[in-house]
């Protein structure tokens, strides 16, 4: 197992080699976080979600969870079977209930998708790789996975949730870091 240590603000952050067992464990932890973010979120009554037999989880452009996705796919969540697939198109037009956006495609996602085509969809991005730079998420992403020292955390953008017609459970609001869009601007 190979670890690379990087020093940020006097705290040490550990990143595992992409072929190690630790890296696989980290992917499964991310998938478990995603499962719980979806579990404690609600689609609005008029979204059509209540009439569906499955929850469609779409990975934008690439499967960044690899084997960690097995925690989600085929399982039951909110009494529905979870299906997942990778969406290769720039603009989301496919029926997706949850959209997972990796850091590597975040800029493309923000450029080609607007609030209109994201309505009634839970959007989650992985910002655990702090080497990425972006100006704003423009209230298109509700949840952001972040790394705080050695721990995985999440942020909740309540403005994005309101714009996309998603209700966030009080359980998540207690555990997550609630942000407003200017709080997460990077250069």
The CATH number given to whatever domain includes residue 137 is: 3.40.50.2300
On whether the CB atoms of residues 85 and 58 are closer than 8 A, the answer is: yes
In a domain, 2, yes or no: no
Give pLDDT tens digits for 24-60: 888 899 999 999 999 999 887 766 555 578 899 999 9
**Domain of 110, in residue numbers:** 29-184
* pLDDT confidence bin for 7, thresholds 50/70/90: very low
Which one is predicted more confidently, 19 or 33? Answer: 33
On whether the CB atoms of residues 48 and 91 are closer than 8 A, the answer is: no
- What CA–CA distance (Å, rounded) separates 161 from 140? 8
Could you list the beta-strand ranges (E) of 37-186.
Answer: 41-43, 54-60, 76-77, 80-87, 98-101, 122-126, 143-148, 151-157, 166-168, 177-179
In a domain, 17, yes or no: no
Query: Of 42, 127, 149, 15, which is closest to residue 4 (Cα–Cα)?
Result: 15
In a domain, 23, yes or no: no
* Residues of the chain above pLDDT 70, percent: 79
The total number of structural domains in the chain stands at: 1
- pTM passes above 0.75: yes
In a domain, 162, yes or no: yes
Query: Of 39, 46, 56, 38, which is closest to residue 165 (Cα–Cα)?
Result: 46
In a domain, 18, yes or no: no
In a domain, 99, yes or no: yes
In a domain, 4, yes or no: no
Match 């452009």 to its residue by tokens: 61
Give pLDDT tens digits for 109-139: 999 999 889 999 999 999 887 655 555 677 8
In a domain, 64, yes or no: yes
**Over the chain, what is the mean pLDDT?**
80
pLDDT score at 20: 78
pLDDT score at 186: 44
């Amino acid at each position: 197992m190979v670890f690379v240590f990087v020093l940020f603000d006097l705290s040490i952050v550990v990143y595992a080699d992409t072929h190690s067992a630790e890296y696989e464990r980290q992917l499964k932890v991310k998938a478990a976080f995603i499962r719980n973010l979806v579990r404690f979120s609600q689609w609005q009554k008029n979204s059509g979600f209540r009439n569906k037999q499955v929850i469609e989880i779409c990975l934008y452009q690439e499967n960044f969870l690899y084997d960690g996705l097995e925690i989600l796919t085929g399982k039951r969540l909110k009494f529905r079977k979870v299906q997942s697939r990778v969406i290769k198109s720039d603009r989301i037009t496919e029926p997706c209930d949850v959209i997972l956006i990796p850091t590597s495609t975040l800029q493309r996602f923000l450029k080609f998708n607007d609030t209109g085509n994201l309505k009634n969809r839970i959007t989650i991005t992985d910002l655990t790789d702090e080497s990425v730079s972006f100006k704003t998420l423009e209230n298109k992403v509700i949840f952001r996975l972040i790394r705080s020292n050695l721990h995985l955390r999440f942020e909740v953008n309540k403005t994005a949730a309101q714009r996309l017609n998603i209700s966030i459970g009080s359980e998540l609001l207690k555990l997550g870091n609630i942000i407003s869009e200017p709080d997460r601007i990077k250069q």
